[in-house]
Amino acid sequence: MTSRAWSIGLHDAADEVFWAAKLNLLWMIFTLAGGVILGVGPATVAAYTVARRHASGESFSLWPAFVAAYRREFGRGNVLVLPLAGVAALLITNYFYFASMGSAASAPRLTTAVALVALAVIAAHLLPMAVHYDLRTRDYLPKASLFALTRPAASVLLLFVLVAIGYAVALYPFLAVVAVGGWIQLDTWLCLRLFAENEARIKTKGIS
């Protein structure tokens, strides 16, 4: 690569990191604005909404776009995210409880860990799906679950990216300033391509 190509690549990478940091900050601000419990849902869906627009190459002002999405998605965001967050909190609590019991609770601890992995993979499909497809709110969970189950390679990829981000933050805590925004943007970018590939496959089968 030429020095010009390298400089362009570094500039683009820096832009994406800055974008992730801004998305991370807005997610935190609006989560807190809703008192955390009532804020995390709409803040998360709003973040995925603007992440989809960014991944699609749209040019827009982030703050007003995020605020508009947050207001619009306040109710639906809570319906989609709060059950996932509640189940995740319960599973994490159970995991540490079983871990404190030692080897006597190995089986339930492993079962809980598997359930946590399954929940993470389903959520990784569900949230991008919620801002990409116009479905009834109750339909997203079964469709996301089916999508995750029938495409194990994609599910493993998303899980790998999530674990890699978590591992990087554990090693370098300062990366927390971009962790949530970076995950949301990467998750959205990957899922949009998975959705497009799935739609192309369905269309090809329909033609043939």
Predicted confidence at residue 91, as pLDDT, reads 95
Largest CA distance in the chain: 60
pLDDT tens track, the chain, 208 positions: 566 666 666 667 888 999 999 999 999 999 999 999 999 999 999 999 999 999 999 999 999 999 999 999 999 999 999 999 999 999 999 999 999 898 888 899 999 999 999 999 999 999 999 999 999 999 999 999 999 999 999 999 999 999 999 999 999 999 999 999 999 999 999 999 999 998 988 888 765 4
**Domain limits at 36?**
3-207
Task: Write down the pTM of the prediction.
Answer: 0.92
String of b and e for 67-98 (b: at least 16 CB within 10 Å)? eebbeebbeebbebbeebbeeeeebeebbeeb
Predicted confidence at residue 208, as pLDDT, reads 46
Sequence-distant (6+) residues with CB within 8 A of 156 are none
The sign of the dihedral angle between the CA atoms of 62, 68, 71, 76 is negative
Predicted confidence at residue 95, as pLDDT, reads 93
Residue 94 CA neighbour count, 13 Å, CB half: 17
How many domains does the chain fold into?
1
Predicted confidence at residue 12, as pLDDT, reads 72
Task: In whole angstroms, give the CA distance from residue 78 to residue 100.
Answer: 32
Tokens of 73: 């998605």
Predicted confidence at residue 3, as pLDDT, reads 62
